[in-house]
Copies of this chain bind each other. A is one copy, B any other.
Amino acid sequence: MAEILAVQDGKRERAKAANRDAILKAAKRVFAEIGYETATVRDIIRGTELASGTFYNYFRSKEEVFEALAEDGARRFRPVLRAARESAVDFEDYIRRAITGYFQFLIAERIGEDGRPVSEMAPHFRTDTPEMKAVYEEVRLGLEDAIARGLAPPVDTDYLARACIGLSQDVGAAMLQRSPPDVEAAAAFAAQFIIGGVNALPRKR
C-alpha cells in the first residue's frame, strides 16, 4: 500500500544500497576536501557510520570508488550528449549543443564553489572506465551519424572524437579557472574551433 513504487523492499537490499551510497557520498566529499592522492580508505569510511571492514564489501580499493564516481558522472552526462544529437538540426548545431551541455555539466558537477580543482581531484582522467568509453563511443557515433547524413565530411572518426574530447576537456578546464566562468563564450570558442577544424580535415576513408 505504502510501497507503491518500492523498487527494493527487503531490508537487506535497502541497507546495501544505502551503505554503497553513503560510501560514495563520503568519498566524493573527502576527495574534494583533502584531494584524491592523500585520501585514505579510512578517511572515507570515517565519513560514514560504518566499520572499516565494511568498505571492502562494496569496493576493493580507493581507486575503485573513484571509478564508481566517474562512472556515475559519465552515466549522468551521456543523456546530455544523446539529447544534443537528437534535437540538433545540423552538424554545427549538434556540436554547439554538445559542447554547451558539457560545459554546463562541468559547472554543475564541481563541488559547490569550494573544493579542490578538478585536475587535483582527478588523477587519471583518461578514457579508462567502461562508462568513460561509452561516452567516447557516444561522441564517435554522433560524428559518424553526421557524416552519414552528409552534414560533415568523411574523416577518421576515431581521431576526430579524440580530438574533440581532448579539446573540450582542456578548454573546459581553462574555463573553470576563470572567474566567473563564462559557459557561453567558452562553448562558442570550442564549437567554432571544432566546426572549422572538421571542415579543413583531409577527407579519408
- A residues at B contact (CB < 8 Å): 37, 63, 119-120, 122-124, 126-128, 155-156, 158-160, 162-163, 165-171, 173-175, 186, 188-190, 192-202
Contact = CB atoms under 8 A, between A and B. Distances in A.
A159 B189 contact: yes
B200 A171 contact: no
Given A171-B166, A188-B202, A194-B197, A128 B123 contact: no
Nearest to A173: B162
How many monomers of this chain does the complex have? 2
A169 B196 CA distance: 19
Given A163-B170, A171-B159, A173-B162, A202 B197 contact: no
Contact of A200 (B123, B168, B195): B195
A14 B190 CA distance: 50
A124 B123 contact: yes
A171 B158 CA distance: 9
A116 B173 CA distance: 27
A119 B126 contact: yes
Nearest to A126: B119
A60 to B, nearest CB: 13
A165 B170 CA distance: 8
